[in-house]
Amino acid sequence: MSAAAWLLVSVLALGAAPASEEAADGYCRWLEGVADAESSLMMAPSLFATGGLVNSPLGDPSDALGVKPRLMLGLQYDFVRLYQGMTLRRRAAAECRGFRASQRLEALVGGQEQIGLAEALAARAEVLAEALPKAEAMLSRLRVELTEARSATLDELNATELRVDGLRALFAQTAREQAALAAAEPAEAADLTPLLEARRGADLESQRLAANLRESSAWGFHVRAGYDRVFGLESGAPFFATLNLSYNLGGLLQPEANARAEQGRRVWARGEDADVETRLAELRAVHAAERARLGQTRMLLADLEARLRELDSLSSEKARTFREYLWLELVKVKAEHVWLEAHTAAIARFLGEAEEAL
């Protein structure tokens, strides 16, 4: 595989890049292993052997055309290929850094459903844990009143049980979600700036090294040394050493073509940031919807609290029952309110950092 072909494969492979850290390690090992295999041939010297027949200027006229056998053995070292091999390894390392940054960025932005979830669940759990003992005591009192004092009705008990069961179910659901979140792989810190900079920097370095590889192909610079023997001729020192320098004139056209390639690559790379922007737009939509709901729950809480204050001055049995219903509804709304409050605050922080990074 040529250096140019390997570079093409390494770029195209990014489109099917794996997502897990283990797979990312394997991808980088493959990328760097291929680069090492290719560059090992470029950076090592070459052995050569040449044999044939040559005309000898000192040959006897009776000897047909003075033809003599010739043997050349030696070592060749190409300094341009040495440079290409080192550059190829550096490009593989840059590709790997860019790939890892892309994977972490994808995991961070793609895991947007977990942003602020821990804080939101903790806030909801705190409200429910504080309210449930009072709700349970309320339910126990109604059962006693129904069976002993007969001051409560079965409908009142059933209505209260339904509301308390709803709080129990919500508390159990919150606990399950917290346990699942704790068991999941911890998310990265919500800081897009270093990841975006790492990806952009690695891509720019990779493209610069690729341009250097293309431009170096126009040059040839190698040395050859070894044994050179023409059999039948006397030679005091049958050794030789040569230095060869060449330049392909097509290299004069490369700078303009490389500039076009770099410009096209920059346009292409902006598409990756556009993917991030699309994910962030979805997150902004979620944030806007939850902020609207947060405003609704705030108004509902204010209304319920006002009604409860009005009922505090009433001492009748019906007023007490209605007040307990309102309080249970208030707990449910408050649990949702604090969840939305914590979640929207976390999303806002994340979006602020993301906007700054972009």
Contacts of 162 (CB under 8 A, 6+ apart): none
Q: What is the DSSP code (8-state) at residue 116?
A: T
Cβ atoms within 10 Å, residue 145: 16
Threshold 0.85, pTM exceeds: no
pLDDT value for 28: 92
Tell me if 11 sits within 8 A of 82, measured CB to CB. Answer: no
How confident is the model over 165-191, as pLDDT tens digits?
999 999 999 999 999 888 766 555 546
Instruction: Give 78-82's long-range contacts (Cβ < 8 A, gap of 24+).
Output: 78/42, 78/46, 78/220, 78/221, 78/222, 79/221, 79/222, 79/223, 80/216, 80/217, 80/219, 80/220, 80/221, 80/222, 81/42, 81/43, 81/222, 82/42, 82/43
pLDDT value for 276: 74
d(CA 249, CA 266): 28
Query: Which residues are 214's β-sheet partners?
Result: none
d(CA 351, CA 345): 10
pLDDT value for 61: 53
pLDDT value for 183: 77
Residue type, 148: E
pLDDT value for 6: 41
Residue type, 295: G
Contacts of 12 (CB under 8 A, 6+ apart): none
For the record, the structure tokens of 347 come out as 């999303």
Q: What is the DSSP code (8-state) at residue 188?
A: P
pLDDT value for 212: 94
Tell me if 333 sits within 8 A of 307, measured CB to CB. Answer: no
Place of tokens 């604090």: 338
Residue type, 273: D
Cβ atoms within 10 Å, residue 234: 7
Contacts of 65 (CB under 8 A, 6+ apart): 55, 59
Ranges under pLDDT 50 in the chain:
1-19, 59, 190
3-state secondary structure of 13: helix
Instruction: Give 258-263's long-range contacts (Cβ < 8 A, gap of 24+).
Output: 258/211, 258/214, 258/215, 261/207, 261/211, 262/207, 262/211
